[in-house]
Homo-oligomer: A and B are copies of this chain.
Amino acid sequence: MDTPWLDRRQLRAWIRLRAVLELLPGVLDAQLRRDSDITEFEYFVLAVLSEAPERTLRMTELAARTNATLPRLSHVVTRMERREMVERFPCPEDRRATNARLARAGWDTLRRAAPGHVDAVRRNVIDALTDEQVDQLADIGDALLSRLDPSGTMSAIYARHDGPDEEDA
């Protein structure tokens, strides 16, 4: 708590980051709501499930990968279940656990939503940066997540394997 104020360069970076934090989620969310009637978080849930073996994950694991709390995920899955985008069924190996599986309507939604969403990410993020900055951003993200998410559940996934990408489901 005895840390000094931020200097001008640090402040400049922080103010910018703060603005991005405030603006970007809303922009991406609005696009998906408008065009596909799902939230960005729901999109991500669909995308993560679509890559999992059997398109199925336990709630806890899904929560970790989407970086949600369990209560939040539970609520979201309840809503998605009503729209038949996912199914819940008890886990055979552990009777405490619940599995979530991508259902037909969810897969269709994901496929239809993907192009527009990727396009939005491109327009608002990727295309604004040079190739060099894209790499810098990835490294900066790594550094920040080492503090925010030490276990690395969320970000590590896509870095490791050579398999399908998030948007590729």
Report which A residues bind B (CB closer than 8 A).
1, 3, 5-6, 8-25, 27, 44, 67, 115-116, 118-119, 121-129, 131, 133-149, 154-155, 157-159, 165-168
Is the Cβ of A168 less than 8 Å from the Cβ of B5?
Answer: yes
Given the contacts A118-B6, A133-B140, A11 and B128 also touching, CB distance less than 8 Å: no
Chain B residues closer than 8 Å to A19, beta-carbon distance: 67, 141, 145, 148-149, 154-155
Number of copies: 2
A11 partner, pick from B6, B115, B158, beta carbons under 8 A? B158
Is the Cβ of B67 less than 8 Å from the Cβ of A15?
Answer: no
Is the Cβ of B67 less than 8 Å from the Cβ of A12?
Answer: no
The 3 A-B residue pairs whose C-beta atoms are closest, nearest first, are A16-B141, A13-B138, A23-B148
Tell me, rounded to whole Å, the shortest Cβ–Cβ distance linking A3 to chain B.
Answer: 5
Chain B residues closer than 8 Å to A115, beta-carbon distance: 1, 3
Chain B residues closer than 8 Å to A135, beta-carbon distance: 9, 13
